[in-house]
Structure 1
Amino acid sequence: MSDNKPQTLKQCVNEALEDYLNQVEPEHISDLYTMVLAEVEAPMLAVVMKHARSNQSKAASMLGLNRGTLRKKLRQYRLLD
């Protein structure tokens, strides 16, 4: 019997990290925490903004963020029009 359940986000992140760490020499890895946050945060913001049809208030609510914090992060990742 095959399991057709989609992977959870946690499983996807775990698999991606395992793949990354298996491909990169340990001495070339530094500040992994900051790198992972940036790699995940930017596309997450872009996708949520798309689903919110660029409505920052709605996107902030979906993310559980203050709208000002969302704007700051959108500027940080150059996602503002």
Structure 2
Amino acid sequence: MSKEQIQEAISKSLQDYFNVLDGQKPTGIYDMIMHTVEKPVLATVMAHARNNQSLAAEMLGINRNTLRKKLLEHELL
């Protein structure tokens, strides 16, 4: 899957979200999306890295301590 396909999937999901709101004013969209997307990203990368946090952090381009904090936040440890 290309970056463009991922962007299209996210765009479609957001449009579906707005359609469900049926005119209601959304708030906190950025935080909602980041939190929603972050958990499966972390879980998938950790599985691909065979639960090696150093490797997963390198793959994600973040510090290992940051990864550990995020894993705890999402109850993935």
Structure 1 length-normalised TM: 0.84
Residue 69 (structure 1) aligns with:
66
Q: For residue 49 of structure 1, what is the amino acid of its counterpart?
A: M
Aligned match of 2:35 in 35, 38, 42? 38
Return the offset for 1:26. 4.0
Query: RMSD across aligned C-alpha pairs, in angstroms?
Result: 1.7
SS at match of 2:39: helix
Aligned match of 2:15 in 2, 10, 18? 18
- Separation in 1, partners of 2:22, 2:30: 16
- Separation in 2, partners of 1:33, 1:49: 24
Residue 53 (structure 2) aligns with:
56
Query: Which structure has more helix as a fraction of its residues?
Result: 2
Larger-gyration structure (1/2): 1
- Separation in 1, partners of 2:23, 2:69: 33
Percent identity of equivalent pairs: 45
Q: Which runs of 5+ in 2 are unaligned?
A: none
